[in-house]
């Protein structure tokens, strides 16, 4: 499918107004990819070439220069096709993605995702882990039975109540039928609800 059929003239004109030319199609030899060469399109060769100098030992070569966005995108695809490099994206699609990423909505979302304090404040840690918890029945040495929502909660409450340090790991071993030799922990017996 030709690019002129994929994008409307109005769409291309709007992109040209937001990202004016000239547009440069360039080639970088000895590039670390399966083709050994990189062909791309850019509006700012100096900054773009700085990035490629880190990846390749050879200098980028400008192959074509134009002021038309559609012509630049089609020429880039044509040169890639001649070299056997087939990509599903094109330069017009790249520019649209860049503009979308720079929008206020996208930047706001990106900043919100990095605000750890706000993210932690919204989290419901009990709700997140509640599906993993299994209720536990604690049987004291005197035979008193008490129910707790999970092993960690039972360990915490028993430590407070008795003054002896209980751990959720040993409680889990007592509850687990695979370990029949672990009958008690600190004199207490534990069972799943």
Q: Which domains does the chain have, with CATH numbers?
A: 3-104 (no CATH), 129-192 (1.10.10.10)
Q: Grade residue 126 by pLDDT with cuts at 50, 70 and 90.
A: low
Average confidence (pLDDT) over 13-25? 89
Mean pLDDT of the chain: 84
Residue 104: its pLDDT value, please? 86
Percentages helix, strand, coil for the chain (3-state, rounded to 5) are: 50, 15, 35
Distance in angstroms (rounded) separating the CA atoms of residues 121 and 125: 10
Distance in angstroms (rounded) separating the CA atoms of residues 65 and 43: 10
- What percent of the chain has pLDDT above 90? 23
Residue 124: its pLDDT value, please? 65
- 80 by Cβ neighbours in 10 Å (0-12 / 13-18 / 19+) ranks as buried
Six token digits for residue 136: 């536990």
Higher per-residue pLDDT: 66 or 89 = 66
């Amino acid at each position: 499918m030709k690019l002129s059929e994929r994008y409307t003239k109005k769409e291309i004109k709007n992109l040209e107004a937001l990202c004016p030319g000239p547009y440069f199609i360039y080639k970088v030899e000895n590039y670390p990819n399966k083709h050994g060469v990189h062909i791309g399109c850019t509006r700012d060769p100096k900054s773009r070439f700085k990035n490629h100098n880190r990846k390749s030992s050879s200098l980028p070569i400008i192959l074509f220069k134009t002021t038309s966005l559609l012509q630049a995108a089609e020429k880039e695809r044509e040169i890639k096709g001649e070299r056997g490099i087939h990509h599903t994206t094109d330069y017009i699609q790249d520019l649209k993605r860049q503009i979308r990423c720079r929008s206020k909505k996208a930047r706001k979302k990106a900043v919100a995702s990095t605000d750890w304090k706000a993210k932690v404040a919204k989290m419901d840690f009990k709700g997140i882990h509640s599906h993993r918890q299994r209720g536990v029945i604690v049987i004291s040495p005197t035979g008193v039975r008490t129910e707790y929502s999970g092993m960690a909660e039972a360990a915490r409450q028993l430590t407070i109540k008795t003054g002896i340090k209980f751990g959720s790991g040993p409680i889990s071993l007592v509850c687990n039928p695979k370990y029949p030799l672990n009958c008690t922990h600190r004199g207490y017996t534990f069972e799943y609800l």
